[in-house]
Amino acid sequence: MACRKFYFHIVFRVIIILLNCLLLCWFIFQLPNVSLIILAAAGIAYQVIALIGYLNRVNTKIENTFLALLSGEVTSVSSNPGRKEEFYKISDYFNRLNQKLEGVKLEHEIRNNYFKTIVDQTSVGLISFEDDGHVEFVNEATRRIFKIFVLKNLTRLDTYKEGLSTFLLGLEPEKTELVTVVINGVLTQLSVKKINFKAGTKSLHLVTLQDIREELDQKEIESWQKLIRVLTHEIMNSITPITSVVNTLGRMFKSRESGKIVGPEDITVQSIERTVMGLDIVEQRGAGLIQFVNNYRQLTKLPIPEFQVAMVKPILQHVQMFYQALAEQKQVSLEIECHPSLEIRIDSALFEQVLMNLVKNAIEACEGKTGGHVKLVAGSTSDFILIEVEDNGKGIVPEVAENMFVPFFTTKEKGSGIGLNLSRQIIRLMGGNLDFTSIPGEKTVFTIKI
């Protein structure tokens, strides 16, 4: 029995009170004596008061113990009571409980410090706030991004961009947005994403902030470098033969000894024929340069999409019908797979243009391969419509893959190098993305995600 000593105390005190009551009755009925009666009554009153005081002391001990536990001060009840204490056994249980609570508290603090260290070391900024904009938590990355030490309310962020706090409060969950802010006079591009969660009874928002300015700058530089290499290559391929032909023609009509222009009597039919051939070359290369410039203009002047809800399968069937003859000529099978009810909100004409470009490339990639096939597959997930153009052609090697969407880059002898870049830009205008995966010699899949 955990409270045996307390039990014995109560029984003993009650017995003493009962004996005093019997003694009082004896004095009253058998030995009437006023002094003895008063003395016995005083003894009973004293024992009752002592019992009440004892119970009050016990209650106070129990109350203090539980108050200490409720307040989290586990060490305040971890004394080592002697065996004279009424509740030494329960106190021992409390001490064991305290040790476990101290262990849990220490483990909780270690875990909190561990996660706080991780959160502070990450390069992604984190802000947790309530519906009224009151900030619960910011990590070190957020302080570095905004160059601040304390953030109590989102309204302080309005100094970097007007209405930024309202934007963060109204940001749609799980959707990534790009925000441009000015921090210490420097234009900074932030990638922002928000999730909502509950912490106990509180409804909180957690926003992630990532400074992508350096990444964008680096990507922009790389894109320009690739584009300049391609432009330089194309222009030099046209200018070099033109310069060479012009120099050759010039030498034909100048004297080698004096350097003067020759007279009509020195011009032969062969010279005229070679001149005409040279001028044809200049004309062809000039026309090539004009076409190159027109292609560039086509890349920079994209049409504005006219959105409408369209059925996907008829579009795929139209593309299949358009390229069926080419596929048969190249001995390539062309199949489609799509549920009849699948719908998509797009510009049908532009979307069909993209598919035709992808299918044509796929058919040409299978040329000369036994059992070549191209397949258009359309489906959907909870968030996206997916259209895949799959072929089992020669594939795309890694050295070429990184340049596939670079303007004017092409591996074809007669290719312009703008088809894939133009297709990706069109899909992005419709709110989607175009990408690909390839296993050389086995399979290549271009995927449109909208």
pLDDT tens for 404-419 read 776 655 666 555 556 7
Q: Which residue has the higher pLDDT, 292 or 75?
A: 292
Provide long-range contacts, Cβ within 8 A and 24+ apart, for 193-200: 194/168
When pLDDT is averaged across residues 57-84 and rounded to a whole number, the result is 63
Q: Which residue has the higher pLDDT, 254 or 56?
A: 56
Give the least confident one: 82-86, 109-113, 154-158.
82-86
Residue 91 has pLDDT above 70, yes or no: no
Tokens representing residue 154 in the block: 């989102």
Residue 73 has pLDDT above 60, yes or no: no
Residue type, 139: N
Task: Give strand pairing partners of 137.
Answer: 128
Q: Which residue has the higher pLDDT, 361 or 93?
A: 361
The pLDDT, as a whole number, for residue 424 is 83
> DSSP letters along 322-380, please?
HHHHHHHHTT-EEEEE--TT-EEEE-HHHHHHHHHHHHHHHHHHTTT-TT-EEEEEEEE
**189 CB-contact burial (10 Å; exposed 0-12 / middle 13-18 / buried 19+):** middle
Angle at 285 between CA 279 and CA 289, to 5 degrees: 140
When pLDDT is averaged across residues 299-311 and rounded to a whole number, the result is 76
The pLDDT, as a whole number, for residue 388 is 92
Name the band, by pLDDT with cuts 50, 70 and 90, for residue 311: very high
Instruction: Give per-residue pLDDT as tens, 96-155.
Output: 777 777 777 777 777 777 667 666 667 788 888 988 888 888 888 888 888 888 888 998
The pLDDT, as a whole number, for residue 303 is 67
Looking at residue 260, the DSSP 8-state letter turns out to be P
**Calpha distance 448→434 (Å, rounded):** 5
Residue 78 has pLDDT above 50, yes or no: no
The pLDDT, as a whole number, for residue 302 is 64
Tokens representing residue 193 in the block: 């994403």
Instruction: Give per-residue pLDDT as tens, 183-240.
Output: 877 777 788 888 888 877 788 888 888 876 666 556 555 666 666 666 666 666 667 6
Answer yes or no: are the C-beta atoms of 312 and 343 closer than 8 Å.
yes
Residue type, 231: L
Answer yes or no: are the C-beta atoms of 377 and 337 closer than 8 Å.
yes
Strongest mean pLDDT among 223-227, 284-288, 298-302 = 284-288
Task: Give strand pairing partners of 7.
Answer: none
Give the least confident one: 72-76, 290-294, 424-428.
72-76
% of the chain with per-residue pLDDT over 90: 3
**32 CB-contact burial (10 Å; exposed 0-12 / middle 13-18 / buried 19+):** exposed
Answer yes or no: are the C-beta atoms of 448 and 386 closer than 8 Å.
yes
State the pTM of this model. 0.45
Residue 95 has pLDDT above 80, yes or no: no
